[in-house]
Amino acid sequence: MVAEKHEQIFRNGSKTYYFSSRFFPPAVRRDVYALYGFVRVADNLVDDQPVDPQAFHAFRRRYSEALTSGTMSGDVIIDAFLELQKRKQFDPAWTEAFLDSMERDLSSSTCETLDEVLSYIYGSAEVIGLYMARIMDLKEEAFASAAMLGRSMQYINFIRDIKEDLAIGRRYLPLAQSGLSSLDSEYTRQHPQQFCDFIRAEIKRYQLWQKEAEKGYRYIPRRYRIPIMTAADMYCWTAQQIAKDPFIVYVKRVKPPKARILRKGIAHSLGVALPCRIFKRRNA
């Protein structure tokens, strides 16, 4: 029942990650579900509107007390994560960084500089890459690339979710040196070229981080590399769609369909997947 609950949370929370993870062997897949269950529940507690700070603080307190005492918390999501954290030797500092970033969303979520963004992203996404490296039993040489992959994927989420984030008073993309003073749709439509240039420049930033992350693929056994590359390619596809028309972020939430995810995973399994490119070579 606990495993089924984890899987349901995962499936409801992220189509890209869920269907990509189907290409993991069952034992690894179960660990991924337990990880995702924990981070998704915490994320939902700060994202669901209206925000309930007390519920998040209670969740964090149950985790901390169980970690300190070495006893069960009584929360199946927390307890499964604690078992995973102990078995796979997660650094508890990673979890504190994750919860710190989630807690930050309870108060201030406007980033003016890249340094502010990266501070938030470390806890919200880079540590997820580190967790995944531990789940796959990768050597520490792979950790920097794993964190970079988490960073690059999160950045595309920030770009994709501009409209939704603005609706709850958040902006994660730094506007310093962009020439823009806002990402509100009314304002950006008055400055269309500046907005398009800004979004495409941020996508190129993502692309540089993604290329850096790909250097770590060589550390990942092939049976684990397939789902990782599948998910990464889906983020690349999302970036492609937004780069074509940046204003699409105000129209719909760009996400790959299930069939595309599965086709790409199968192509990677067969060794026939083509590299994902966002910009034509002459514009790269």
Note the pLDDT tens digit of each residue in 162-185.
Answer: 999 999 999 999 998 899 999 999
pLDDT in the model for residue 282: 45
User: Closest Cα to residue 79, out of 96, 59, 98, 94?
Assistant: 59
CB 126 within 8 A of CB 150: yes
Q: Which residues of the chain have pLDDT under 50?
A: 282-284
Structure tokens that stand for 127 in this block? 């540590």
User: Closest Cα to residue 227, out of 114, 115, 135, 101?
Assistant: 135
Structure tokens that stand for 75 in this block? 């929360």
pLDDT in the model for residue 284: 39
Structure tokens that stand for 162 in this block? 């501009």
- What is the rounded CA–CA span in Å between residue 53 and residue 144? 32
- In angstroms, how far is CA 137 from the centroid of its own chain? 20
Q: Is residue 174 reached through a cis peptide bond, with omega within 30 degrees of 0 on the bond before it?
A: no
User: Closest Cα to residue 242, out of 145, 143, 173, 176?
Assistant: 173
CB 144 within 8 A of CB 94: no
**243-249 contact pairs (CB < 8 A, 24+):** 243/199, 243/200, 243/203, 243/278, 243/279, 246/195, 246/196, 246/199, 246/200, 247/188, 247/189, 247/192, 247/195, 247/196, 249/159, 249/160, 249/161, 249/162, 249/163, 249/199
Q: What is the CATH number of domain 2-283?
A: 1.10.600.10
